[in-house]
Structure 1
């Protein structure tokens, strides 16, 4: 299992739109998505992939990190556990 943090996604993005965007650029369909609260300036979502490990997701995130989607520049970061 691995987790991708997508930041600056736009407040009106739906689960289906995010899923279609990720699949379009070669990532698998996600298993879970959780929207993170903040001050609203850079909406973010934590996206979970059960079929990928963190190393594989790290290679795929380069396809979307820094890309413009819906007029906003997307930031993608793989979240890793610091202690195992």
Structure 2
């Protein structure tokens, strides 16, 4: 499973809006979403893609990293793989 961190997401943004936005820029639909509150100033989401390799997300990430969306500049990074054994 590959994960994508999308930081500085407007708090009121729905899961469906995030999915529509990313799909517009060529991302596949995500399978899971986890909201990360942080300090409240820069909320984020971690998106999980069950059938996508990290290198695929890395090739797509520059399309939306530093993009201005909903009055905020997004910070988008591929989460490094984790060994959960």
Q: TM-score range by the shorter chain?
A: over 0.9
How many residue pairs were aligned?
84
Query: Paired residue for 1:14?
Result: 14
Q: Deviations over 1:6-52 (max 9, x none)?
A: 00011010000000000000000000000012110101000011121
Counterpart Cα distance in 2 of 1:16 and 1:83: 30
**How does the TM-score come out when normalised to structure 2?**
0.92
Structure 1 residue ranges, 4+ long, deviating more than 6 angstroms after superposition: none
**How does the TM-score come out when normalised to structure 1?**
0.93
The answer to whether the aligner puts 1:74 opposite 2:71 as a matched pair is no
Counterpart Cα distance in 2 of 1:56 and 1:19: 17
Structure 2 gap segments, 5+ residues each: none
